[in-house]
Structures are given as structure tokens and as C-alpha cells.
Amino acid sequence: MRYISTRDNIAPLSAAEAINLGMVPAGGLFVPESIPHIAPWDSSQTTYHETARRILASLLTEFSDTELTTCIDKAYNHTTFDIASVVDLVPLGSSRFVMELWHGPTAAFKDVALQIMPSFMGLVKKKLEERSHTVILVATSGDTGKAALEGFRDREGISIVVFYPADGVSKVQELQMTTTGGANTHVVAVKGNFDDCQTGVKALFGDSALSKRIRAKGFAFSSANSINWGRLCPQIVYYYHAYQRLLAEGKVRSGDPVDFCVPTGNFGNILAGYYARRMGLPVRKFICASNRNRILTDFFAEGTYDRNREFHRTISPAMDILISSNLERFLFEVTGHDADRVRQWYGALAETGKFTIEPDIRDKINEIVDAVWVDESQVLTTIGTTFRQNGYVVDPHTAVGVAAAHAASDGDVPLVIDSTASPYKFSGSVLQGIEGTTPSDEFACVERLQELSGTEVHRAVKGLRERPVRHRRCIEPHQMRQTVEAILGIDEIP
Ligand SMILES: *Cc1c(COP(=O)(O)O)cnc(C)c1O
């Protein structure tokens, strides 16, 4: 399987090379040249691991069975995930299911990908005989950072630098990151929002003079953001897993369609679902759920992607994004690999902050995507009603999904809502939704939420208060390059 650029600006590469590079150096994202077909299979015994082997083997063809099995077993086991099935599927009323994707070490769905991606990286470096020290640069809206830090800490030959928006993450998210151990981990607060962090990281990747200089010192940049194919492809697995579970439980018969509702930010999670559909999973449609930062909802309705708008800070911060990077892959796929058009659109986006797709493409997208946005009060109301009516606690991101599902689902086919974070990661907002008030101390919120729900506190949050803060850097957005240079010890100050 070869990987090509959404902007047709690099020769096709192997999966290993695509994963090693992260994104196309000249701009653009790697996608598989062709999409393998895997029909859902008949088996009530299939483990998550077996599903992962089937899906990943079809996409990462140069990895041997043994290599893949090693990566999968190392990523998904009783020390990394607190349930044997890795992800769980919980009924929420009739014909609705919540797919709990947050049973990994950091309580967010990103663990599913970021527990396995570092193994891919290690393997890829061996295959490519890449001897330079890999420097993973991450921009995070809160959850990727910690998940990547946990995935990459103490991995040989790799360092990781995480940039997060100084006032854009929750107290728990911030502490999770700044208390991270490991000799190869670096965490930096940026006085700006997530887009500033992401733009800054993209600029570092695009800075060819910098690349040359760090190469000369034995370093090479790579990415753990969902722009890296190695991060995206493990997410395809759980869409299949959910369907296999529904099959095994007799909730669907082979070939019956289902809908998925995905709380969306960078468009990575929902894109993985789209690839599952293209690979043959019977998905009727996706509900693309957004918070007040409704840029995707407007785009799918009007055909214009316009980032010239106010940025809102919400209680679902991991979805506070105005540039959904993976949308580029989606547009490349729905246009039948029209790199010329993608180049034009993303050129316009870089220059004017917006682009418009033709109505026929928009219509084609709307056949498979329903986009819905949910305002803040609705998110809180949904947390409260879901608790009272179903006895189930959802975090604010998942609540966006639940509310969007109420608005967009006709109930004709089973619907799976992706639950992207444990409620304990956002205890304050969750309590606000359930009780209307909230203790000012985040950890008092955690205790109260446990009392109310009777569920166990996620181990990612337990004991966090006592852990020492190890990372205290806080910088302006324009200082990102010099910060990386300082961390690597290659700053030019004489
Ligand atoms: C990252 C994240 C999202 C958004 O996922 P994308 O793949 O960026 O669309 C939603 N919810 C939570 C809790 C997240 O951490």
C-alpha cells in the first residue's frame, strides 16, 4: 500500500515513510493510494485485538503479522486499558449506544491511537534505518498532549514537545500534562489559543532552514497530531469493533446500516469512521457534532469554510478549533482524489482564511454527513437529562454528541455515539450540568461526582493533585521556534 499527498506534491511513499514524515513537507496530508475492502465478518468471539490485526494489516501492508501483533499487544493490555475489550459499548435508551473510548491511561479517546502509534514509530525508524533522534512536536487542545506524552515517554530515540494554549485547557488537563514524568518529555504553555499552537507547529514543520539545522545536529521532527496517518488508522479499528459488537449482541444483522455520531474538532475521529465506511462498514451516515465553534456545521450547510470568525472558549475545549486539519483528507477523498482542487482551496484558506466548494460536492457530502452544532446551555442540559433519564454520566464533549444525536437522528437505524472523554476529566462542567452548581475546587468536583454517580474515579485523575508539577515553561506564540531550539540545545545564542 502506497501513500500519496492530498496536494499531489510528493511521490508516493510507503506507510513507514508517511508515518515517519507525519505530514507532507511541502504541505498536504498522506492518504492511502487505494482503500482496501473489509466486510464485517461473522463472529461473536472477535476480540478488539483481532479486529485491530485485520484492519491495520490491510492498511500497513509492509508490517509483518508478528510486528503488528507486537504493536497491538503492547498498546492494548491490562496495564494500559482498564477493560479487556479496550472500548465499551453501553446502551442509552433503545437503539442508541455510547461507545466509551476513554478507558486508556489518560481518560480521553486519543489513547486508543496514541498507545500504539509510538510502537509504529519505533518500528518505522528501524525499517528506514533512521538513526536521527525523533522529536515529536504536538499542538494540543488539551487531550492529545497528555495522551501523546504517555505514549511516547521514555521511548528510546524519541523526544516529545507539547504546546498547549495557556488558558484553553481545564485544570485537570493542565495538571495531567505538567506533572508528566519521563526524561524525554517537554510541556510548554503558549499564550494563545489552540489554533496558535497548531499554526506554530505547522510553521516549524514547514521551516526548511530549521529542518536542515536540526538534521545536522542529529534530530528530525515528526508529528503525533491526527495529521499523522499512524495516528489516524488505529481509530478505524473501533468503528469496526462497534459494529462487530452490535452483530454479536444481535442488535444488527450482517449488512444492516448504522449511524455514528462523532463529537468533532480536528475531524480526525470522524474521518477514521469515514474510512471505515469506505472500507465496507455499513454506515448510513455520520452526525458531525460541533460546539459553538460551528465552523464545520456552517461549512457543510453553506459550502464555505470561513475561519474569519470569533473563536469561542467552551466547556468542550478539545473541540474548540477553527482549522480542522483532517477535513483536507476528507475533501480529497470525496472529490475522487482531486489534488488540484484541494491545492486551490487550501491555498485560498492560507491566503484569505476561507474557501468555497462547489454545490455538487457539498451535496455529495451531505448524503453521508449531517452536521449539527450545540450551544453551551444545551450541552449542560444534556448532561443533566442524560444523568436523570438514563443514569449515565457524560462529559461535555460526549454531551455535544448526545445532543446532536437527539437533533439529527431519525431513530430508523441503530446509532452509536462516540464518547470521547471520561466525565472525570471535566468534573466541574459535568456537575454544573447535573446539579446546576459546582464547587470551585476541581478536585472537590471529582469527589462530588463520584458521590453522585457511584462510579469509580478514572485512574488518570486519581492522585493528580498530589503529583509534583515538573513543567513550567510559558511562552508567546512567536517564541515556539526558539523554545524548541533551547530544548534541543541548538539555540544559536553564542
Ligand atoms: C480530541 C477530542 C475531540 C475531537 O476529536 P477530533 O478527532 O479532533 O475531531 C473530541 N472530544 C475529546 C474529548 C477530544 O479529546
Over residues 448-494, the pLDDT tens digits come to 999 999 999 999 999 899 999 999 999 999 999 999 999 999 876 54
pLDDT for 143 beyond 60: yes
Kindly state the average pLDDT of the residues 46-75: 96
Instruction: Give the three-state DSSP class for 109.
Output: coil
pLDDT, tens only, 327-368: 999 999 999 999 999 999 999 999 999 999 999 999 999 999
Distance of alpha carbon 157 from the chain centroid: 24
pLDDT for 44 beyond 80: no
Kindly state the average pLDDT of the residues 437-449: 92
Q: Which of 261, 248, 222 is nearest to 382 (CA)?
A: 261
pLDDT for 222 beyond 90: no
Regarding the beta carbon of 110 and ligand 1, being less than 6 Å apart is answered yes
For atom 1 of ligand 1, the residue with the nearest CA is 318
Regarding the beta carbon of 267 and ligand 1, being less than 6 Å apart is answered yes
For atom 14 of ligand 1, the residue with the nearest CA is 318
Instruction: Give the three-state DSSP class for 448.
Output: helix
pLDDT category, 168, cuts 50, 70, 90? confident
How many angstroms does the Cα of residue 32 sit away from the middle of ligand 1? 23
pLDDT, tens only, 4-43: 999 999 999 999 999 988 889 888 999 999 999 999 997 7
Kindly state the average pLDDT of the residues 146-174: 93
How many angstroms does the Cα of residue 214 sit away from the middle of ligand 1? 31
Q: Which three cell numbers stand for residue 263?
A: 463529537
| Alpha carbons 267 and 21: distance in angstroms, whole number | 20
pLDDT, tens only, 174-220: 999 999 999 999 999 999 988 899 899 989 988 989 999 999 999 99
Average pLDDT value for the chain: 94
Query: What's the pLDDT at 492?
Result: 65
| Alpha carbons 275 and 101: distance in angstroms, whole number | 18
Q: Taken in order 368, 344, 236, 136, is the CA torsion positive or negative?
A: negative
Identify whether 110 is a catalytic site residue. Answer: yes
- Active-site residue (options: 74, 110, 212, 425): 110
Cα separations in angstroms, 257 against 41, 105, 270, 415: 14, 32, 17, 9
Residues in the chain: 494
Percent of the chain surpassing pLDDT 70: 99
Question: Which of 143, 325, 379 has most ligand 1 atoms within 8 Å of CB, for mutation?
Answer: 143
Regarding the beta carbon of 283 and ligand 1, being less than 6 Å apart is answered no
DSSP letter at 94 equals: T
Percent of the chain surpassing pLDDT 90: 85
Kindly state the average pLDDT of the residues 78-82: 96
Regarding the beta carbon of 264 and ligand 1, being less than 6 Å apart is answered yes
Neighbours of 97 (CB within 10 A): 23
How many angstroms does the Cα of residue 157 sit away from the middle of ligand 1? 28
How many angstroms does the Cα of residue 35 sit away from the middle of ligand 1? 24
Q: Answer yes or no: are the C-beta atoms of 224 and 201 closer than 8 Å.
A: no
Regarding the beta carbon of 226 and ligand 1, being less than 6 Å apart is answered yes
SS3 content of the chain, % helix, strand, coil (to 5): 45, 15, 40
Query: What's the pLDDT at 264?
Result: 97
Atom of ligand 1 nearest to the CA of 147: 15
Query: What's the pLDDT at 493?
Result: 54
Query: What's the pLDDT at 494?
Result: 45
For atom 4 of ligand 1, the residue with the nearest CA is 265
Instruction: Give the three-state DSSP class for 436.
Output: coil
| Alpha carbons 113 and 459: distance in angstroms, whole number | 19
Q: Dihedrals φ, ψ of 98, to 5°?
A: -105, 125
